[in-house]
Amino acid sequence: MRERIREILSKKPSDDILTVEGWVRTKRDSKNVCFLEINDGSCLKGIQAVVDKASFSNNNLLDSITTGAAVVARGRLVESLGGNQAVELETSGIEIVGPCPQDYPLQKKRHTVEFLREKAHLRARTNLFGAVTRVRNTMSYAIHSFFQENGFIYVNTPLITASDCEGAGEQFQVTTLDIENPPRLKDGSIDYSKDFFGRMAKLTVSGQLDGETYAMAMKNIYTFGPTFRAENSNTTRHLAEFWMVEPEMAFCDLEGDMEVAESFLKYVFKKVLDERSEDMAFFDSFVQKGVVGTLEHVITSPFEHMTYTEAIKRLEKENDRFEFPVHWGSDIQSEHERYLTEEIAKRPVIVTDYPKEIKAFYMMLNEDGRTVRGMDVLAPRLGEIIGGSEREWRLDILENRMKELGLKPEDYWWYLDLRRYGSVPHAGFGLGFERAVQYVTGMGNIRDVIPYPRYVKSAEF
C-alpha cells in the first residue's frame, strides 16, 4: 500500500523521492511557479505540490491539470516557504491519471449543503464532507473499542423481521408478492402465506428484542447496524435508514444502564477530540462555534439527572413559551428537550421514570404502577440521542402489559420464553449513531452526516 498524504505530511524534509496520489483541490499559477493542493481524504489539509515551470518541459501538461483531476506527483519533501504548511512537495514529475473537465460541479467556492446533497456522489471531496466522513469513522471505531474493552460481545441481529419491536407502525414492508395482483384469501385480504417468508415481513426498527435473547446467554452484548423507520417526518433529526448502537446487559438495572450510557458517550467524544483535532477545529470554525469546548465540558462533568415528574414540573412553569404546553402524562417533545438541556442544565440530561402510557411495553414497571424504568439521554441542540430502559423481566407483569396494549403474547412467544427460563433483571439502550455524529460535529442536518441519506421522497444514489 502506498503512503497517504497524512503520513507524508508527518515526515521530515529529505532527498528521498516520494509519490503523492490524490485529487487536485486548487491550482494557483504565477509566471514561474504553479501551486497545486492535492488531497486524498486522509486529512483535511492536502499537500502543496510546487512546480517550477522553468524546469518543466511539458507546460501543456500543467495547463490541463484542473480542479478535480486525479494526479500522481513525484518529488522531494522540502521545508515550505509559505506559512500555511510545514512541508511541501518540490515536484519533479507529475502525471494526470484522470483528467477533470470544466463542468466539474465542485469548483473552488463554498457550496451550500443543500447543493452538495444533490451531488452526494462527489461531496466527500469537499473539506466539510471529508471531515464528517473521518469523524464518523473514528466514532464507529471508538464505539467498537469501548464495548470490546468492556467485555461486550458484538452480535448481528436480523434486518428482516416478522415481529414489530415497538408494537407500532412506521415499518417498511418486505415482500416478493406481485403488488399489482397479490394472492387473496376468500375474504379478499392478502394471503401472506404465499409471500416469501410465509408471513408478512418488515424491515427492523430496532434489534433490541433479538439482542435481549443474546444478553440472556452472553451477559453483555451490543449491536451496531442499520435500522429502518418509515417516518413521514421531515425533520433535521430523522432518517428513514439510520444506524443504531444497542447494548444489552444482563444482571443490570436502570442505574447500571445510565452509567454505561454516560461513560460510553464520554469515551466516544474523547476519542474524537484526541484523534481528529484538525477536523474538530474545522467544525468549530466553520460549522458550530464552540463545539470543541462544549465536548470538553461534557467529557469532564457529570450528566444531569431528572425524573420525568421533575422535568414536567420545571417545564410547566414555562408553558407559555412552548408551542405544545406540557402536563403530567404528555410526551416530552423536541422544544421541551431543548429547554431542559440548553436553558436549565446547559449539558446533557438523563430523564427517567416516564408514564407507562408514553413508553414501550417492555419497560419495567415501577412500584407506583404508573411509571416505567425508562431513560432518555437528551443533548443540547438535538434532544434525544439515546433511549433506553430496564426491561420488564417478570413474566406475569409483562404479559399483563402486553394485553393492556392489545399485543398478542403468542406473537412474542420466544421473547416471553426469556422470562420463563432463567430470567434476570436486564437493561439496555439505543443510540442513534447519526444523532451522535451530528452532536459531535455540530452539523445542522442529519442528512449530511451519512453518505447517502434516505428520507421521505429521497433515495437517490
Q: Which residue, 229 or 276, is less far from ligand ATP as judged by CB?
A: 229
Contact residues for 400 (Cβ-Cβ < 8 A; gap 6+)? none
Q: Which residue, 9 or 143, is less far from ligand ATP as judged by CB?
A: 143
From the list 158, 157, 161, 230, the residue with the least C-alpha distance to 197 is 161
- CB nearest ligand ATP: which residue? 432
Contact residues for 49 (Cβ-Cβ < 8 A; gap 6+)? 20, 35, 36, 37, 38, 73, 75, 88, 89, 91, 94
Closest distance of CB 384 from ligand ATP, Å: 4
Contact residues for 291 (Cβ-Cβ < 8 A; gap 6+)? 280, 283, 284, 440, 441, 442
Angle at 156 between CA 151 and CA 161, to 5 degrees: 140
Part in contact with ligand ATP (CB under 6 A); list of ranges 18-26, 207-215, 380-388, 397-405: 380-388
Closest distance of CB 451 from ligand ATP, Å: 15
Q: Which residue, 75 or 430, is less far from ligand ATP as judged by CB?
A: 430
Contact flag: residue 21 with ligand ATP (CB under 6 A): no
Q: Which residue, 22 or 432, is less far from ligand ATP as judged by CB?
A: 432
Residues 184-223 as x/- pattern, contact with ligand ATP by CB under 6 A: ----------------------------------------
Size of residue set near ligand ATP by CB under 6 A: 14
242 phi and psi angles, rounded to 5 deg: -140, 170
Residues 231-270 as x/- pattern, contact with ligand ATP by CB under 6 A: x------xx--x-x--------------------------
Biggest CA–CA distance in the chain, Å, is: 86
Residues 383-422 as x/- pattern, contact with ligand ATP by CB under 6 A: -xxxx-----------------------------------
Q: Which residue, 39 or 438, is less far from ligand ATP as judged by CB?
A: 438
Q: Which residue, 126 or 204, is less far from ligand ATP as judged by CB?
A: 204
Per DSSP, 390 falls in state: E
Residues 428-457, interacting with ligand ATP (CB under 6 A): 430, 432, 434-435
Residues 274-313, interacting with ligand ATP (CB under 6 A): none
Q: Which residue, 425 or 432, is less far from ligand ATP as judged by CB?
A: 432
Instruction: Using DSSP, state whether 248 is helix, strand or coil.
Output: strand
Instruction: Using DSSP, state whether 210 is helix, strand or coil.
Output: helix
Q: What is the DSSP string of 12-28?
A: PPEEEEEEEEEEEEEEE
CA distance to 72, 132, 173, per residue, from 230 (Å): 45, 25, 9
d(CA 389, CA 252): 10
The contact set with ligand ATP (CB under 6 A) reads 229, 231, 238-239, 242, 244, 384-387, 430, 432, 434-435
